[in-house]
Amino acid sequence: MSNSFMDEALAEARSAGERGEVPIGAVVVLDGAIVGRGGNRTREKNDITAHAEIEAIRAASGRLGQERLTGADLYVTLEPCAMCAAAISFARIRRVYYGAEDPKGGGVDHGGRFYAQPTCHHAPDVYSGISEGEAAAILRQFFRERREDD
Ligand SMILES: [Zn+2]
């Protein structure tokens, strides 16, 4: 079931929030099994590229010993940004399932709409709004708590 994989991505998002990172999580699924998971680690790693999707793709590629993830699906709690949208394309991921939309920073259905560009050579199928309410609530709560800390 696709929703159970999104539940795993949501768990990664919550873990990221507990580490003080923006709570976004992702998992990569191949042949019905999770082969990579990741949450935001940009602060921990001092690495602006350590978004949840990139972390999950790195984990999956490392585990499978392959550069491309042809046939794999990626579940992520927030619409991917332009960088992650491109990485997903380069990895030849088949389908992207995302939770909440990101009108301010998304690069799939907002902003540059990477997959709709002629320079995009592999566009995954995109399914949005998966567990959207829960994904958005985790982000809202995180930013509300941070404001209260100020
Ligand atoms: Zn990203």
SS3 at position 9: helix
Taking the centre of ligand 1 as the mean of its atom positions, its distance from the CA of residue 79, in whole angstroms, is 8
Which pLDDT score is estimated for 150? 64
Taking the centre of ligand 1 as the mean of its atom positions, its distance from the CA of residue 48, in whole angstroms, is 9
Taking the centre of ligand 1 as the mean of its atom positions, its distance from the CA of residue 133, in whole angstroms, is 20
Check: CB of residue 109 under 8 Å from CB of residue 128.
Answer: yes
SS3 at position 18: helix
DSSP label at residue 21: S
Tens digit of pLDDT per residue, the chain (150 long)? Answer: 447 999 999 999 999 999 999 999 999 999 999 999 999 999 999 999 999 999 999 999 999 999 999 999 999 999 999 999 999 999 999 999 999 999 999 999 999 999 999 999 999 999 999 999 999 999 999 999 888 876
Give the type of residue at 89.
S
Please write the tens of the pLDDT for every residue from 55-69. Answer: 999 999 999 999 999
Give the type of residue at 124.
P
Residues annotated as catalytic (active site), given as ranges: 53
